[in-house]
Amino acid sequence: MIYLRSTLFTLFLLIFTPIWSVLCMLAFPFLTPENRYSFIGLWNKVVIWLLRHLCGIRYEIRGMKHMHAVLDQPVIILSKHQSAYETIAYIALLPKQLCFVFKRELLWIPFFGWALALLKMIHINRANKQTAALSVASQGRKRLSEGKWIMLFPEGTRTPRGSTKPYRKGGARLASATGALVIPIAHNAGNFWPKNSFLKQPGTVIFSIGPAILSEGKSGEDLQQEVEGWIESEMRVIDPGAYK
């Protein structure tokens, strides 16, 4: 049954994504940047709905009050990265327009990448670390000034359940340089949609949103260690079985 449900979900994406991407490209010239984000975000909401009702992947959000408390302030979100699920869910579920930092290769994906290119996101060349850092710094400042929140995955790539990669300091350094608050997020989405997995396992994804962390007076290195400590500690709370 899981194989059948996962197959139906994949077939839906293969049909729905090109159609929605074409609609986005046709509509975007007539929409403001804010409305473009909302329009394309309907795809995310449909996909999350389908994952719930077809594949049995539900979600629970803990700590949303921490975001509502700082809606009018500049924020950089640093999140655990295990799955494709969270990258889809954040646009659908979080209360603020997000600006993702992602590798430029995603723009080359037919239809999905073309629609993504129409949004004001920060895409970087990971092969050139110096250029990537400059892009995050310059574009990040601009997006924060526009009232958007910056979303980064400091591990850089999806990690298997129960593991971690060294956290990169780019997001923490940007927060330190701009005085933006940092909100950490831990989650266990890798339990249900692991990296490179075709099968979608039923269950409940827990998103745990931490209190906003002040960046003022902290170096990027100190801030990164504080964020990493919170996320990795929280992972052992929401998914203890993965760390036995």
Res. 119 pLDDT band, cuts 50 70 90: confident
- Compute CA distances 200 → 47, 50, 89, 207, 243, whole Å: 13, 12, 15, 18, 22
d(CA 3, CA 198): 8
DSSP H/E element including 187: strand 181-187
pLDDT tens string 72-105: 999 999 999 999 999 999 999 999 999 988 777 7
Q: Quick one: pLDDT at residue 126?
A: 65
CA 89 to chain centre: 8
AA identity, residue 190: G
In the chain, the percentage of residues whose pLDDT exceeds 70 is 95
Closest CA to 6 of 58, 45, 54, 43: 54
Mean pLDDT over 190-216 rounds to: 96
Angle between helices 2-27 and 33-53 (to 10 degrees): 170
pLDDT tens string 5-34: 999 999 999 999 999 989 988 998 898 888
- Compute CA distances 63 → 7, 34, 74, 78, 133, whole Å: 34, 25, 18, 15, 30
Residue 116 confidence (pLDDT) above 80: no
d(CA 85, CA 58): 11
d(CA 158, CA 153): 9
For residue 57, give every residue at least 6 positions away whose Cβ sits within 8 Å of its Cβ, in sequence order, or none: 51, 85, 192, 193, 200, 201, 202, 203, 204, 205
Tell whether pTM > 0.85: yes
Q: How many C-beta atoms lie closer than 10 Å to residue 18's C-beta? A: 15
What DSSP letter does each residue of 75-103 carry, written as one string? Answer: EEEEE----SHHHHHHHHH-SS-EEEEEE
